[in-house]
Each structure stands twice: as structure tokens, then as C-alpha cells.
Amino acid sequence: MKLVKFLMVGLGLLYAATGIAADLKLKTYILAEKKAGDVATIAAATKTKLTNAGFDVVGEYSPYSNATILIVTNNTLKENAAKSDFGAFGAAQRISITKVGNDVQVAFTNPTYMSHVYRMKGDLKSITAKLKATLGDKGPFGPDEGVTAADLRDYQYKWLMPYFGDRLTLAEYGNQQVAIEKVEAALAKDSKGGAKKVYRIDIPGKEETVIGVSMAGPGDLDCSGDKYIMDQIDFKKLKSTGHLPYEVVISKGAVYALPAEFRIAISFPDLSMMGSNSFASIMCSPTAIHEALTISVGGKFEEE
């Protein structure tokens, strides 16, 4: 009992030191607005708002018809990423513009939610507030009940599933600069993997770079494709388009990705394990994504 009490006190001090409320319930996305219009026009207007607010729009991606994703960063995001172990995964935020019926949904990833998922030093509340002020705030969405900050920092979808620290090593090169050059060149080719560069962010003062990639899912890797996966699991009325794009991180000459069992689960934490529109419906995706990313960055895939 003394050991349990000691651990609980220790965790309480940790959360107090990082400014984390252990019982705070968070959701993955924030709906900025819903309105009539076309995706291209609203995406252009959204891009202007973001730029005027001091965000750098580093990438733009349309994974399927009636959907566009803008990827942004700024100095605050990059500086916070530099302070955190593998913080590059949290160096960008994603804004989605998705047409559903007669309405266009503008939404963005919740920076505070993502800061805890990626175990970052800062909770990015200032970025959350800035995006709300810039784009609007109609409330959070994602998992029905939300997830506590404490649980996000130690997130695991189910027993035996990977944690944030269980990263996949896709390739290893001589040093950081060589790795960046090799990955950029590999992604520019039409490889069997089908992944292409969408954006790149270099983390200041650190040998770390994140590259976001589109996933086409060609040939026998079809279930690695962005459209294939989202057709199966993005079934709610408010769309989680901002789950995309996937990312790889180059750190000290090695290339990493998050396992799909973690990376998909953090965007859809209440997705059921079995049944229609469940993880079972994309059972082939984790291995296919691993293989597609490995091939696309110039690595050699060996199935475990």
C-alpha cells in the first residue's frame, strides 16, 4: 500500500509540474465552423486566415474528393518540439476542410490533445486558443467521452498494443543530412510503397525532421491507402479528415514511424475492435502501412 501511495503521489507531482490536469477530458478535434460553399474556396479563405495569424502553411493535401487538409506550424510549435523527445511528431497541426452533404466542415486537430499524445513538454494551450480565435470554435469532437491527459500520455488502445515509445525503424543511414537526402529522393520516386511527401518541418537546434506523407495504397498494398482506411473508419457525422497525413520522423540518421495500431488509434480512440466500421475492418492496414512506408523511404521491409 505504501508503494502504491508513493507512486500516486509521484504521478501527482509530475502532472502538477507539467501543468497537466490528470482528470481533464480531451477530444481529438475541434470543429471551427460548418457552412455552405465549396471546398476549394473555403480552403483558400482558411489558408489566408492562418497565414494572417502567423502560421506557416507547410503543406496541402486532398486525399479524396471534397476534402482538403492544410498542415501548419509556427515558431511556438517548433520550439516546443525541440524540447521533447521525438517532439517532431507534434510539430505540426492539421486543419481539414471536408464537404458533407450541403455543408463544409472546417476542423482542426486539438493541439492540447496532441501534446499529451506525443508526451511533449508544453501543453500547447496557446496554440489551441490561437486556432480557435483564428478559425472559430463550435466545440470539440472525436471520442464520445474524451480521454484524460494522463491516459493520453500513456496511451495504449488495448492490451499488448503499442505505446508512443514503440516506434518502427524504417531505415538507417549514415547521418542526419544523408538520411534527409535519401528519404527526400526516395519519396520523389514512384515506388511500390506509394507514399509521397506532403510537407517537411526541420526542428530547430536538433537533429530531427518530420515529413508528412500521402499514402496511395497501390497494388497489393491497397489497404495502406488513405482513402481505403478513411472509407472504413471515418463514419461519424463530423469527419476526422485531420487524421491525415501520416508522418515519418528522421532523427540522428534513422527514419521512424508510429505503428498504425497507435497512430490510427490516437485519432479514433473509441473505435470498436470488432464489427462494421471497426479496427477489424482495416486488419490488413498496420502491416501494409509499415511495408509501404519502409519501401517509400528507401528501407528494406522484413515482415515480423
pLDDT in tens, 198-223: 999 999 999 999 999 999 999 999 99
Residue 284 neighbours by CB under 8 Å, 6+ apart: 223
Amino acid 303: pLDDT = 74
Residue 188 has pLDDT above 50, yes or no: yes
Distance CA 23, CA 11 (A): 12
Does 233 have pLDDT greater than 70? yes
Asked if pLDDT for residue 12 goes beyond 70, the answer is no
Residue 187, Cα to own-chain centre: how many angstroms?
19
Q: Write down the pLDDT at residue 276.
A: 87
pTM over 0.85: yes
Give the model's pLDDT for residue 16.
45
The per-residue pLDDT for range 235-252, each reduced to its tens digit, is 999 999 999 999 999 999
Report whether pLDDT(21) > 60: no
Residue (of 197, 186, 192) closest to 220 by Cα position: 192
For residues 21 and 151, is the Cβ–Cβ distance under 8 A?
Answer: no
Strands (E), the chain: 25-26, 29-35, 56-61, 67-73, 93-100, 103-109, 140-141, 147-148, 168-172, 195-202, 208-215, 246-251, 254-257
Cell of 41: 474556396
Q: Give domain limits for the chain.
A: 23-153, 168-296
- Give the CA angle between residues 193, 197, 199 to the nearest 5°: 150
User: In the predicted model, is pLDDT for residue 113 greater than 50?
Assistant: yes
Tens-digit pLDDT profile for residues 72-97: 999 999 999 999 999 999 999 999 99
What is the share, in percent, of the chain residues with pLDDT greater than 90?
Answer: 87
Identify how many contiguous H helices and E strands the chain contains and give both numbers.
10, 13
Q: How does strand 195-202 pair with strand 56-61?
A: unpaired
User: Do 163 and 38 form a contact (C-beta atoms < 8 A)?
Assistant: no
Alpha-carbon distance of 188 to 197, in angstroms, equals: 7
Position 1 scores a pLDDT of 38
Residue 6 pLDDT: 37
Residue 36 has pLDDT above 90, yes or no: yes
For 23-153, which CATH class? alpha beta
Give the CA distances from residue 188 to residues 16, 185, 202, in Å, rounded to whole numbers and listed in that order. Answer: 45, 5, 18
